[in-house]
Structure 1
Amino acid sequence: MQIARLNGNLVHYRVDGAEDGAPVVFANSLGTDLRLWDKIVPMLPAGLKLVRYDKRGHGLSGVTAEPYSMGTLVSDAEALMDHLGLKDAVFVGLSIGGMIAQGLAAKRLDLVRAIVLSNTGAKIGTREIWNDRIAAARQGGVEALADATMERWFTAAFRDSDELALWRNMYVRQPLEGFIGCSAAISGTDFITPTSGLRLPTLGIAGSDDGSTPPDLVRETVDLVPGSDFALIRKAGHLPCVEQPEEYARILSDFLARVGHANG
């Protein structure tokens, strides 16, 4: 575990793999922390420098007053990469992390040579939906949204397993201000125009049973980028790296090899 003061906030991050390896940066979803990627990290090719971090208001990072803008979250990722001296990284973002990936690629192509847009969209939901979720969280805490979220996030088979409790616990233990802040950032984001201007290797990953960012949304988003690839993971919901880690790691590893970032 490491922490750095960036943009007036403390950012918790972790580096695995080779110190001098080609960098891969991971950004996680709303309501999760960097442990989202625990299952797939050991399965990725050797020799990579794997960087994970808790976004603002999540995990062990600092919490600032809400609301947050997507521009702030993108700047946080940018500041962390500058702090670590990372260039030409593959940036893997899931859900809101995928929005951060799109914004970062549009802003700092020197930092990002390829992006993976996992279970995300150029626009996710509507302002009304997010306003309703924010209002519910203000009234009843993150707990008020937990059961409906778990149903959208995971397949029925996974929801019947004991492991569901880990992800529900992680979700409800995220700081309320961070949850509301990032929800507001998603609510205010429409990246259709900037993402359609991107020209870099792009992979979309979707879960067949994702109730938050359905496969069609992910496909429509990556189709904005000419030459992009798309992969659908069966028997997985919003967090396929949790439900189908072997398949997720295989798809990601193949992409890293295809773009010359790792040995095939």
Structure 2
Amino acid sequence: MGRHALGLGALALLLAACGGTAGSQAGGPTTPSPVPAGTSGTAPTPVATPTPTPTGANIDGCVTEKTGKIFDYKRGGTTTKGVIMGKGPVGVVVSYEHQGSVCGWLPLADRLVAAGHRVLLFDRNNTAAPEEDTVAMAQRLRKAGATKVVLVGGSMGGRLSLLAAGKLDFPVAALISVSGTIQPGEVDDLRAPFLQVTGDADPDAPVDMLQIVYNEAVKSADRQMLVLPGQAHASELFTGDQGEKALRAVTSFVEKHTG
């Protein structure tokens, strides 16, 4: 025996502890079932499938030819795109906020289209006098068959809508400013029905300033102001906690003055 016998004895004990026998591994070696990396033996975590990027004509990836009729718009050497959604005699032009996009206004556009109205969303042309874009869009809706046109704008888009209303050669059916940055003294001659919607804690559209503007719009055929709780600004008002109230207020005002 000696050292050799002791070595075999130690090997037998080691194999026994591992479930085998000395000199034999019945059934062959046991191979553990493979476990996907990073799962620690648990079920694999589902991976979200990314939304495919539109390959055809689109605006900011959220508006495609399924959304409506996409068109090119050129001014000052720059070409942007717009879309007309829905049908009907009433047309609504939407001008988005600073650093906004048409995507944020789709909830309102969808609601207005469902109500039987035509809606035009467009990528603003970043040239001088941006209100000229809103003027051109309102004229485009008229040529497309809209007999009444409403201007809706968020934040700076609200002010651009007001300026555009003063440059059109036909009266707008209504002007709706959502968290608009219209300044005191700019609504003295406004005669169109005028709705302001804002949040009571919106730092970019202080309620006090909107109240002054409201008080000055004495020539408006119908002035209204809706103050909702929260800090949501412009298009954010349509998707936040007060979204349904904001959507209903705008849609009701459009229908009231175009019916």
TM surpasses 0.5 = yes
Q: Give the C-alpha shift of residue 252 in structure 1.
A: 0.7
Please give the residue correspondences for 1:40-119 in structure 2 after superposition, counting only pairs within 5 Å: 40-44=108-112, 45-57=114-126, 68=128, 72-84=129-141, 85=143, 88-108=148-168, 110=170, 112-119=172-179
Q: TM-score, normalising length from structure 1?
A: 0.62
Classify 1:223/1:54 alpha carbon distance in 2 versus 1 (closer, same or farther; 3 Å). farther
Aligned residue pairs, count: 180
Q: Given residue 78 of structure 2, which amino acid in structure 1 is its aligned partner?
A: N
1:37 equivalent in alignment to 2:105: yes
Q: Give the C-alpha shift of residue 236 in structure 1.
A: 4.4
Residues 88 and 110 in structure 1, CA contact (< 8 A), matched pair in contact too: no
Secondary structure of the corresponding residue to residue 205 of structure 1: strand
Classify 1:248/1:206 alpha carbon distance in 2 versus 1 (closer, same or farther; 3 Å). same
Q: Give the C-alpha shift of residue 87 in structure 1.
A: 5.4
Distance in 2 (alpha carbons) for counterparts of 1:77 and 1:111: 14
Q: Give the C-alpha shift of residue 23 in structure 1.
A: 0.3
Distance in 2 (alpha carbons) for counterparts of 1:40 and 1:122: 21
Secondary structure of the corresponding residue to residue 130 of structure 2: helix
Secondary structure of the corresponding residue to residue 78 of structure 1: helix
Higher fraction of helix: 1
Secondary structure of the corresponding residue to residue 161 of structure 2: helix
Equivalent residue number for residue 14 of structure 2:
none
Runs of 4+ in structure 1 deviating by more than 4 angstroms, as ranges, are none
Classify 1:245/1:34 alpha carbon distance in 2 versus 1 (closer, same or farther; 3 Å). same
Classify 1:16/1:46 alpha carbon distance in 2 versus 1 (closer, same or farther; 3 Å). same
Q: Which has the higher contact order (CA 8 A, sep 6+)?
A: 1
1:28 equivalent in alignment to 2:96: yes
Q: Give the C-alpha shift of residue 247 in structure 1.
A: 1.4
What is the CA RMSD across the aligned residues, in angstroms? 2.1
Superimposed CA distance per residue, residues 222-261 of structure 1 (whole angstroms, 9 cap, x where no aligned partner): 33212411011223421312323211110011111221x2
Residues 135 and 167 in structure 2, CA contact (< 8 A), matched pair in contact too: no
Identical aligned residues as a percent: 20
Equivalent residue number for residue 248 of structure 2:
250
Secondary structure of the corresponding residue to residue 216 of structure 2: coil
Equivalent residue number for residue 5 of structure 1:
74
Q: Give the C-alpha shift of residue 7 in structure 1.
A: 4.3
Equivalent residue number for residue 201 of structure 2:
209
Q: Give the C-alpha shift of residue 29 in structure 1.
A: 0.3
Q: TM-score, normalising length from structure 2?
A: 0.63
